């Protein structure tokens, strides 16, 4: 996936997390010539792009094992940034240890609770106690920091961390076991946000995803009728998420991903029907479908 840089802003891609996190790894994969900038939270990463301190933000939207990242659905309606691309990052959990420590020496391991849960059976088989931490990469960083502070490998020789290969590289840790997760195929879908998007003309040979936000009108079967236009016009709806916004329980808002491009006649007819039964409609972006979708026949 090639994304053209905008020379008006810094060649920086912002992400939430600590250096070595899977978001950082995604930044390096998609934008190898950009500087990856770590932010404390998702809003900070988005704000960097809004304030032209970064060209892009790499934001996780959902994980094949853990589900959606709920906070992002609360933030997307509040920003005017555009989705210009998507990226699917395979999650390869690695069991990391200090240099010189072997697998059989490890008795405890720290990581994010989701990572620990995804490695539960391997940990149980090896009789390794799980210790919950804030972040995968932070666990690796703290393990390396304890070694540096103690100047002795013995203090932390029985402790490990579960994190990415990038975290191991950055913090000087050894990978004692790769693909440590219990189930293969664990993947995180990221979206790339930018302040503006270059208009992508429709090309027949290219597959596209169009992301839309909307709320329904107060009419009987309004959601059914609003979405019916996509079915009758042959547009595949590949994602539907509902959420409450604005601090009230009065109305539901919806996020849909569609397999199509706004310049397609069938999409235009479907959007016309959506406009009749829905309100506050906003196209978040239309962008090429990632190769992961084609490989797994999502669309």
DSSP 217-247: -SSTTHHHHHHHHHHHTT-EEEEEEEEE-TT
What's the average model confidence in pLDDT over 21-29? 97
pLDDT of residue 4: 45
**Per the domain annotation, does 291 fall within a domain?**
yes
End of a domain among 167, 194, 221? 194
My answer on whether 221 and 75 are in the same domain is: no
Residue 15 burial by Cβ neighbours in a 10 Å radius (0-12, 13-18, 19+): buried
My answer on whether 103 and 76 are in the same domain is: no
* Catalytic status, residue 79: no
Q: Among candidates 49, 68, 86, which has minimal Cα distance to 210?
A: 86
**Per the domain annotation, does 129 fall within a domain?**
yes
Q: Which residue reads 């933000």 in tokens? A: 57
Contact 75, 42 (CB under 8 A): yes
End of a domain among 194, 220, 247? 194
**Per the domain annotation, does 199 fall within a domain?**
no
- Write out the residue range of the structural domain in which residue 35 sits: 12-90+186-194
My answer on whether 32 and 106 are in the same domain is: no
Give the model's confidence band at 218: pLDDT under 50 very low, under 70 low, under 90 confident, else very high: confident
My answer on whether 159 and 277 are in the same domain is: no
Q: What is the mean pLDDT of the chain?
A: 89
My answer on whether 145 and 278 are in the same domain is: no
For the chain, how many structural domains are there in total? Answer: 3
**Per the domain annotation, does 280 fall within a domain?**
yes
My answer on whether 190 and 67 are in the same domain is: yes
The catalytically annotated residue of 42, 190, 230, 277 is 190
Q: What is the DSSP string of 66-98?
A: TEE-HHHHHHGGG---EEEEEEEEE---EEEE-
My answer on whether 67 and 103 are in the same domain is: no
Predicted confidence (pLDDT) at residue 68 exceeds the cutoff of 60: yes
* Catalytic status, residue 165: no
Please give the C-alpha separations between residue 136 and each of 22, 38, 53, 161, in angstroms, as whole numbers: 9, 14, 26, 8
Domain CATH for 213 = 3.30.70.260
Predicted confidence (pLDDT) at residue 3 exceeds the cutoff of 70: no
Digit-coded pLDDT (tens) for 139-181: 999 999 976 665 554 556 799 999 999 999 999 999 999 999 9
My answer on whether 264 and 190 are in the same domain is: no
Predicted confidence (pLDDT) at residue 296 exceeds the cutoff of 50: yes
Q: What CA–CA distance (Å, rounded) separates 52 from 75?
A: 18
**Per the domain annotation, does 7 fall within a domain?**
no
Between 9 and 135, name the one with better pLDDT: 135
End of a domain among 142, 164, 194? 194
**Per the domain annotation, does 4 fall within a domain?**
no
Q: Which of 33-37, 249-253, 289-293 has the lowest mean pLDDT?
A: 249-253
How big is the chain by its Cα radius of gyration, in Å?
22
What's the average model confidence in pLDDT over 110-131? 94
pLDDT of residue 154: 56
Q: What CA–CA distance (Å, rounded) separates 155 from 132?
A: 20
Q: Which of 6-15, 136-145, 190-199 has the lowest mean pLDDT?
A: 6-15
pLDDT of residue 271: 96
My answer on whether 42 and 190 are in the same domain is: yes
**Per the domain annotation, does 203 fall within a domain?**
no
Contact 185, 265 (CB under 8 A): no
My answer on whether 157 and 286 are in the same domain is: no
pLDDT of residue 162: 97
Domain CATH for 55 = 3.40.190.10
Give the model's confidence band at 228: pLDDT under 50 very low, under 70 low, under 90 confident, else very high: very high
Please give the C-alpha separations between residue 53 and each of 72, 75, 155, in angstroms, as whole numbers: 20, 19, 41
My answer on whether 61 and 190 are in the same domain is: yes
What's the average model confidence in pLDDT over 114-121? 92
The catalytically annotated residue of 37, 188, 230, 254 is 188
**Per the domain annotation, does 27 fall within a domain?**
yes
pLDDT of residue 299: 62
My answer on whether 61 and 111 are in the same domain is: no
Show the beta-strand stretches assigned E in the chain.
12-16, 35-39, 56-63, 67-68, 82-90, 94-97, 108-111, 129-132, 159-163, 174-177, 187-194, 208-216, 236-244, 252-259, 278-288
């Amino acid at each position: 996936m090639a994304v053209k840089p905008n020379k008006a802003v810094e060649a920086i891609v912002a992400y939430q997390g600590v250096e070595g996190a899977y978001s950082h790894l995604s930044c390096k994969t998609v934008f190898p010539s950009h500087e990856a900038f770590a932010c404390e939270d998702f809003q900070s990463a988005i704000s960097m792009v809004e304030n032209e301190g970064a060209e892009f933000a790499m934001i996780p939207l959902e994980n094949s094992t853990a589900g959606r990242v709920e906070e992002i659905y609360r933030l997307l309606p509040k920003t005017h940034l555009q989705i210009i691309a998507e990226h699917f990052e395979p999650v390869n959990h690695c069991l990391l240890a200090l240099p010189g420590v072997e697998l059989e020496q490890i008795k405890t391991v720290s990581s994010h609770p989701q990572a620990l849960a995804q490695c539960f059976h391997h940990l149980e088989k090896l009789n390794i106690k799980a210790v919950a931490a804030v972040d995968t990469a932070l666990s690796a960083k703290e393990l390396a920091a304890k070694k540096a502070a103690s100047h002795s490998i013995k203090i932390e020789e029985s402790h490990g961390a579960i994190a990415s290969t990038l975290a191991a590289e950055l913090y000087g840790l050894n990978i004692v076991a790769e693909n440590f997760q219990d189930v293969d195929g664990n993947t995180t879908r990221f979206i790339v946000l930018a302040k503006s998007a270059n208009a992508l003309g429709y090309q027949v040979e290219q597959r596209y995803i169009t992301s839309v936000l909307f709320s329904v009108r107060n009419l009987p079967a309004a959601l059914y009728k609003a979405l019916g236009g996509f079915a009758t016009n042959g547009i595949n709806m590949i994602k539907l998420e509902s959420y409450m916004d604005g601090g009230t329980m009065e109305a539901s808002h919806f996020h849909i991903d569609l397999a199509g491009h706004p310049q397609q006649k069938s999409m235009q007819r479907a959007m016309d029907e959506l406009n009749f039964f829905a309100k506050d409609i906003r196209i978040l972006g239309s962008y090429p479908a990632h190769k992961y979708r084609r490989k797994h026949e999502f669309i």
